[in-house]
Structure 1
Amino acid sequence: MKLRKLLLFPLPGLLVLTSLFSCGEDRWKEYYPLTGRDLWMDSLMREVYLWYEDIPASKGLNYFQGPEAFLKSILSKNDKGFSTVDTIMDTPLPSYGFDYTLYKIATSDTTYNALVSYVAKNSPAEEAGLKRGSWIMLVDGDSITKKTEERLMDGGARTLHIGKYVIVKDENNEDTEGDTETEDGDSEDAEDDEDDKGVGVIQEIGDVTLPAVRPVTESPVYVNGVIALEGTDYKIAYLAYNSFTAGTAESNEKYNNELRTFSQQCKQLNINNFILDLRYNSGGEMECVQLLADILVPADRLESPFAFLQYNDKQSSKNRDLILDSQLLQGGANLNLPKVYIITSGTTAGAAEMLINCLKPYMTIVLIGQTTKGEYVATETFINPEYPWALRPVVCEVFNSNGEANYSTGFKPDISINETSYLQYYLPLGDPNEILLNTALGVIAGAIELPKSQTTETAVKSFTTKKNIRKGLIIK
């Protein structure tokens, strides 16, 4: 990512620092190393911040705080964590590469099972054979408790005892999902029969070896493919796209080119429906939003207005329109779609929400899942060469071609589904039986019928691996 460098002389801070001069003695050199970063942040925010008028007066601020605390002290009430400051990191973080949610075991107040909610590609977790929907029952032979849970995060090699969620009948404990299992624990000849008396249990599979943590780099194109519905002429593209990231430091269009390649494959296969899975997409770069929109929209909408960026009154010269620019395709293909089905969650945010908002004037959008986060503004990255910190303040509001940006409470789904209410269908992304993808396929086929919810487990807490991807909506 390109970082915009900006070094501003902290004029507002001069008023504060006059109190540091005593008996005519200039103590600037003594105190500036302690306050300089906060003073720079203060000056920058008063110029570029969308809500700069809400920043408190300098005389009431503490310039000796850490960067996160200082930023929090000057943010507008409109800023719900959109503006951030963090260290500049260019290398991927070491991790196991999986997220999980703890569920309380019904027969114990102190032990838990961990549902694997996400597995990163090319990670130790994937190498171990963990999948989305796997359940971790034991860690190094011990039950998961508040004390032993730390082993799922501490970085060392681990032995995990895993299982899968199945429905059994109360009366004779027969597995309603089929009795035959493959070596990896997947059921064969699974039945779709739903039993009102069924009870969910974690069925043991066996042990796997989880290697130690290592740096993990992922493509934002997590899963892609084409699904043909038997007995119909539907050819459905599926794309699980986890961040709006153009590329790497070595190849700045690497991931955009993956999108372009997939769009060409879809064009050649004459796909006529598209399911875009944004449930894990917390945002990214605005340029990627434009590219994906160019791929999806009706062909006659290319070169039309796409979005309008509106800055504060000090920066109004930056106000500008974005268009659906066909030149961004660069070897990719426009799919000329009248409708797109988008899978969402509470973490779908920023750039992902911009895509939804800015496509709405031009095509039918069907949302499936849960309400999105509601991040309707864009940030820009600034660094000061003196400090290893990057400040990303909200700099503008983003409107679609109809002048709309009214989703501060998020986009509500057309079909609301909490996937954790269907744990037997909590499966890897791209599996046609996974509850949200299966629902989207049902909507396309005109035969949607949700299975009965048979989940009684209680979620206690969730853990998400820290990823060095940029969230929100970022202007480069």
Structure 2
Amino acid sequence: MKIKTLLFLFICLSLSACKDDNDPSGNGDRPDTQAWIEDTMREHYYWYNEIPAAGKLNYANDPETFFKSLLSDKDGKVRGTQHQYFSYIKALTGGNTRSTINEEYSYGFEFTGIYADKTHQDILALVLYVVKGSPADDAGLQRGDWITKINDAPVTDTNFASLSGGEACSLTIAKWDPATKKFVPQNEKINLASARKVEDDPVYTWNVIESPAKNKKVGYLLYNHFTAGKSDDDTSYDDHLKSLSGSDFNGVDEFVLDLRYNNGGALSSGILLCTILQPGNQIGSKLGYLQYNDKQKNKKVQFNTNKSLLGSNGKNLNLKTLYVLVSSSSASASEMVINSLEPFMNVVVIGETTVGKNVGSLEYTSDDKKWEMHPIVCQIYNSVDFTDYADGIAPDVQLDEAFTYVDAQTVSPIEMFPLGDPNEHLFKAAIDLIDGKATLTRSIDAPGIVTYKKVPGNSIDRKATGSVIINK
């Protein structure tokens, strides 16, 4: 805790003058954790001036409840009937000061779902992607598999979330037949081992293909989160990006960046990616800036691309156009990359409207290493002062990777191809645009087709960071 804060409390106690609404100690005594939370938030929180007066705070609340009581309604957004804040706090275990996205307890696959019939009870869970080396991968689960039962019990709203991780279990699988428009049950079950920590390498898969009509050399990268490496001291993921730019992607004519599963992450990895993709004559230019609250000495902090970030084996691809695949889960640093590159090149967005996180957070750890706090501390602008994507970035071509739509919640399944396959729905749309062909459509145009209601949300949303993570 800050010495000046402790001194102030001592003086207030001595004079018995700590009972008005502006007194940060309220009843004259704050627990250490709540004092650290309040002091940090009043100094650094972007909407600090909306924090209630001390006399209106309950210092007896647990740290998470107390933290939430300080937050502004401008922080986060309403989803359904709940306000989901971007700022968050979490308890640390074992003295760790940071928990990374690639070490979560998981079966190692991501999924979405539809209700099997009009009763909206049983669910069909669609596997979107499988992490390499995970229990799901070891068991043979594949993208495009439909899970109909868990341990011979139907998938329902009650057990749907359990597919994220748990004890060993068996899964009953069906396949979608695009010819008959029916689900075909499979005889063999998938036997999953117990969930464990898995390494979710953000550089998931990549490919280089030749477009069929114009014979363009097209690079493709599925990038799932903006993380430099396996730990704070590791840069292996960023190094992999640089290596690919100087080898597999060297000399590509066009590029497709797949951020459909990317909830965001670190600003530094986003700047590296922009340095790889930006037109060569723009390297070193201002990408954007971070706008902090008026208590900070540096209220506006600029960030640029930088050739030195490429190291000895990285290469700028000198692109004029970038095709970006997104979904309703794409957020934070994914949106920052799109917004930051748009002043310099033609960015074509394919997919669904993104989440809309145009803010950044910093990590603060309590002195006792028991709590880690990620408050929103800044808003993110591009080089032409644009930041108005709080409602999400709308796609130029609206498509869903797994369904065609009647309306927002009524859908019909489509054939799923491996990620990076030129026939995969979103990738194919980008290739068609590159070749000058008519694009696919999200809407159903076949009369009498069988439809289903989507299950709200998906497993990817649980991994979301609150905002772009600003590197200290």
Normalising by structure 2, what TM-score? Answer: 0.83
Query: Is the 1:95–1:465 Cα contact (8 Å) retained in structure 2?
Result: no
Asked whether 1:135 is paired with 2:146, we answer: yes
Q: 1: CA distance between counterparts of 2:403 and 2:221?
A: 23
Matches within 5 A, 1:39-50: 39-50=35-46
Report the counterpart of residue 244 of structure 2 in structure 1.
Answer: 262
Q: 2: CA distance between counterparts of 1:294 and 1:105?
A: 45
Asked whether 1:161 is paired with 2:161, we answer: no
Report the counterpart of residue 296 of structure 2 in structure 1.
Answer: 315
The 3-state SS of whatever aligns with 1:206 is coil
Shift of 1:153: 5.0
Letter in 1 for 2:175: K
The 3-state SS of whatever aligns with 2:295 is helix
Shift of 1:244: 0.7
Shift of 1:318: 5.2
Q: 2: CA distance between counterparts of 1:118 and 1:392?
A: 29
Report the counterpart of residue 98 of structure 1 in structure 2.
Answer: 109
Shift of 1:326: 0.7
Query: Is the 1:248–1:254 Cα contact (8 Å) retained in structure 2?
Result: yes
Letter in 2 for 1:161: T
The 3-state SS of whatever aligns with 2:452 is coil
Shift of 1:241: 0.6
Shift of 1:306: 1.3
Query: Is the 1:97–1:465 Cα contact (8 Å) retained in structure 2?
Result: no
Query: Is the 1:102–1:460 Cα contact (8 Å) retained in structure 2?
Result: yes
The 3-state SS of whatever aligns with 1:279 is coil
Deviating runs (4+, > 6 A) in structure 1? 465-469
Q: 1: CA distance between counterparts of 2:296 and 2:208?
A: 45
Q: 1:10 to 1:463 in 2, by over 3 A?
A: farther
Letter in 2 for 1:253: T
Shift of 1:287: 0.9
Asked whether 1:295 is paired with 2:306, we answer: no
Query: Is the 2:335–2:358 Cα contact (8 Å) retained in structure 1?
Result: yes
Report the counterpart of residue 473 of structure 1 in structure 2.
Answer: 468
Q: 1:425 to 1:448 in 2, by over 3 A?
A: farther
Report the counterpart of residue 25 of structure 1 in structure 2.
Answer: none
The 3-state SS of whatever aligns with 2:296 is helix
Aligned length: 432
1:235 to 208, 212, 217: 217
Q: 2: CA distance between counterparts of 1:104 and 1:167?
A: 18
Query: Is the 1:297–1:363 Cα contact (8 Å) retained in structure 2?
Result: yes
Shift of 1:283: 1.0
Query: Is the 1:135–1:202 Cα contact (8 Å) retained in structure 2?
Result: no
Q: 1: CA distance between counterparts of 2:134 and 2:354?
A: 27
2:265 to 284, 298, 303: 284
The 3-state SS of whatever aligns with 1:217 is coil
Q: 1:202 to 1:333 in 2, by over 3 A?
A: same
Shift of 1:297: 0.8
The 3-state SS of whatever aligns with 1:321 is strand
The 3-state SS of whatever aligns with 1:74 is coil
Q: 2: CA distance between counterparts of 1:336 and 1:224?
A: 18
Query: Is the 1:12–1:43 Cα contact (8 Å) retained in structure 2?
Result: no
Letter in 2 for 1:444: I
Shift of 1:471: 4.8
Report the counterpart of residue 249 of structure 1 in structure 2.
Answer: 231
RCO greater where, 1 or 2, for CA within 8 Å and sep 6 or more?
1
Normalising by structure 1, what TM-score? Answer: 0.83
Query: Is the 1:303–1:325 Cα contact (8 Å) retained in structure 2?
Result: yes
Shift of 1:231: 4.7
Query: Is the 1:122–1:218 Cα contact (8 Å) retained in structure 2?
Result: no
Report the counterpart of residue 431 of structure 2 in structure 1.
Answer: 441
Letter in 1 for 2:263: S
Asked whether 1:85 is paired with 2:66, we answer: no
Q: Where in structure 2 are there 5+ consecutive unaligned residues? A: 18-24, 77-84, 93-97, 405-412
Report the counterpart of residue 440 of structure 2 in structure 1.
Answer: 450
RMSD value, Cα: 2.9
